[in-house]
Structure 1
Amino acid sequence: MKNPLRRYLAILALCLPCLVSHAADAPASDGRAHFEAAAQTAMAAVQPGPRDIPLGEQGKLHLPAGYGFIPQAEASALLAAQGNHTGPGFHGLIVSDRLEGFLALEYEAAGYVKDEDAKEWDAAKLLDNLKEGTESANEERRKLGIPEFSVVGWVEAPNYDAATHRLVWSVITRRKDAPAGGDGVNYNTYVLGREGYFSMNLITGLAHIDQEKPAARELLAALEFNDGKRYADFNSSTDKVAEYGLAALVGGIAAKKLGLLASLGLFLAKFWKAGALAVVGLGAGVRKLLGKKDGA
């Protein structure tokens, strides 16, 4: 693994001035110091593959070589330092030199999600629902002073594999006040279980998605539930059934999650530079962490 955390921190280092500038009561220097402290902590906590990453009582991620995992506490602090906030099911971030972006790994204890509606999906209708849900979520973003987003169209229409209980779909997102050419991508992958589902959301730029799709699917295949927690282990007499079906993971439920994380996707291609960590002085530390020489 070359420098996945370096790449990720470079992105955040360049995004930080934009993300803290709207807070009148928080000087930029304070925001930068907060970010730098969180980045140092994350750098020390990154776990390089190959290794198994335990995901509570539900499952595990067989993290392949070439990827790094930032655990929940450090990843949450790092995201919070540049304006993103995570929920109780957030497990951490996956980074890699293969990715211009990163993946956010979460678990949602929604119950058993029935998948019958996947047989009758209408991709055009699902896209309309996602657009409408995103516009509804924009009302909350306006109240919070957060940039508003629109969904432009599919990168990959929803595809559900009933044998493995895996769902993949991807959309182009665009910040409403962004110039042309700044489109980002949310590449969403899910695997269903007995009591809920795992999701991995790849946040990247439109220019890179074709090269990064295989990595997202590789990581999805490396994610598994523990014995007794798999979709096939469902007991209809005792287990909770989710209040929504599979289509909701492409509609209203998903629209609420396209928000702050999507903002980073808009910065990737435009702002990433190989030497950006000079901004926060972390380049040498990351090289040392990953066993690289300064000339690498």
Structure 2
Amino acid sequence: MRTITVWRGVLALMLGLCMWCAAPLLASAQQAAAKADDPWEEAKKVAKQGPAEITLASQAVLKLPADRVFIPQPNATKLLNAMGNPGEDPRLQGLIFPADDNAGWFMTVRYEGSGYIKDDDAKDWNADDLLKSYREGTEENNKERVKMGVTEMEILGWAQPPAYDAATHRLVWAMKSRDKGATNDDDLGVNYNTYVLGREGYFSMNLVTGLKELESQKPQAHALLDAMNFIDGKRYADFNASTDHVAEYGLAALVLGVGAKKLGLLAVIAAFAVKFAKIGLLALAGLGFGLKRLFGKKTEA
């Protein structure tokens, strides 16, 4: 009987040792599984480091500078979702981040195959109407943000009224935003929105940064715009009136929100909230490019 008791004790000890040895392995396996599902870890695997030439939607080529990083789809959508932006946008081509941790900005790249957009009505748009449309779109988007447990956003007004350059076929504006109910000026964010027109549609390359940094960051947006060019046959000047599809609306309608609502373009409001997503963003530092300063002050456990 004593022998049986002794063996029981030995077996219990051995079992305890096995459990003790297996615990680190189990924890490592759990950590590895969690890491595999981390959108930031997955983004690192597919990130394209500049200098590189990136074809976008079979329409244009982006000559990515050496100090930039491009995250393609579907990882770009996963990152936006992780930052608190609901849903998927089939127009999204990718995200551009700076390699410099102190840069404090990033850019979304989208393409819309709308057809050729006539720009001769740009002089007729009304900035107040556009502002109203964006505010309405933000309120609609906030319903989804509430479901996700993410702080609602509000649009405060223009940081730069819309302006169109007929020579380059580029449209630019900037809108001020922040967390709803916030009173601290440090929480003010901005999207520097830019459209570039082509023969069959347009690209939007939108810089997301802080309002205080906007003036100093504008050159970053324009440098990337200069680095993206439509390929031969897809340029705005290549339009053939006898064969090409013309969009149902002009540039003014797109800006005012008529075309925007028809195409669901108010989903770009989601990008306003990217910088201010109040979720656990501790994984951002692990991505390793241009994010620590951008998100650091809003990170919550």
SS of 2:71's equivalent in the other structure is strand
Shift of residue 281 of structure 1? 9.2
Distance in 2 (alpha carbons) for counterparts of 1:36 and 1:101: 25
Where do residues 258-269 of structure 1 align in structure 2 (5 Å cutoff)? 258-266=268-276
Aligned length: 250
Calculate the TM-score normalised by the size of structure 2.
0.72
Distance in 1 (alpha carbons) for counterparts of 2:277 and 2:146: 20
Distance in 1 (alpha carbons) for counterparts of 2:212 and 2:143: 29
Compare CA radii of gyration and give the structure with the larger one. Answer: 2
Shift of residue 282 of structure 1? 6.1
Distance 1:81 1:175, change over 3 A: closer
Match of 1:205 in 2: 210
Deviates more, 1:131-140 or 1:38-47: 131-140
Deviates more, 1:34-43 or 1:177-186: 34-43
Pair 1:101-2:121 in alignment: no
Calculate the TM-score normalised by the size of structure 1.
0.73
Query: 1:152·1:171 contact (CA, 8 Å) conserved in 2?
Result: yes
In structure 2, give the amino acid aligned to 1:200: M
Shift of residue 183 of structure 1? 1.4
Query: 1:157·1:169 contact (CA, 8 Å) conserved in 2?
Result: yes
Match of 2:74 in 1: 73
Distance 1:249 1:153, change over 3 A: same
Match of 1:163 in 2: 167
Where do residues 1-296 of structure 1 align in structure 2 (5 Å cutoff)? 33=34, 37-84=38-85, 85-96=87-98, 97=100, 99-135=103-139, 138=142, 147-181=151-185, 182-252=187-257, 253=260, 256-266=266-276, 279-280=282-283, 283=286, 286=288
Where structure 2 has 5 or more consecutive residues not aligned to the other structure, the ranges are 1-29, 290-301
Query: 2:95·2:109 contact (CA, 8 Å) conserved in 1?
Result: yes
Query: 2:112·2:203 contact (CA, 8 Å) conserved in 1?
Result: yes
Distance in 2 (alpha carbons) for counterparts of 1:114 and 1:194: 10
Tell me the alpha carbon deviations over residues 19-41 of structure 1, each in whole angstroms, 9 at most, x when there is no partner.
xxxxxxxxxx99x9479622111
SS of 1:44's equivalent in the other structure is helix
Distance in 2 (alpha carbons) for counterparts of 1:109 and 1:239: 12
SS of 2:115's equivalent in the other structure is coil
Shift of residue 140 of structure 1? 6.3
SS of 2:273's equivalent in the other structure is helix
SS of 1:102's equivalent in the other structure is strand
Distance in 1 (alpha carbons) for counterparts of 2:225 and 2:284: 33
